[in-house]
Amino acid sequence: MYVCVCNGYTDKEIKTAVRENGVQTAEEAYLSLGNGFCCGTCADCANDIVSSELPFQRVLAAE
Ligand code: FES
């Protein structure tokens, strides 16, 4: 599902950025994918995705 129309980022890409790039915020996730926020319309949705994915990052980091 597309989350960010401006940058063409999907929920899967954002989740992967959290799990594999160690980002803590949506802004950091976006920057790791190439571009930060543009219009900001997607910020709430992107932050929700990052927040829901952070526990999995911690599990992977502990391994
Ligand atoms: S829709 Fe994501 S920055 Fe515009």
- Each residue of 10-40: pLDDT tens digit? 999 999 999 999 899 999 999 999 999 999 9
- Closest atom of ligand 1 relative to the 39 alpha carbon: 4
Ligand 1: centre distance to CA 16 (Å):
18
Superfamily covering domain 2-62: BFD-like [2Fe-2S]-binding domain (1.10.10.1100)
57 confidence band (pLDDT: 50, 70, 90):
confident
Residue type, 25: T
User: CA-CA distance, 47 to 62, in Å (whole number)?
Assistant: 23
pTM as predicted = 0.90
Mutation test of ligand 1: which of 1, 6, 27 has the most ligand atoms closer than 8 Å to its C-beta? 6
Q: Is 40 close to ligand 1, i.e. is its CB under 6 Å away?
A: yes
Q: Is 50 close to ligand 1, i.e. is its CB under 6 Å away?
A: no
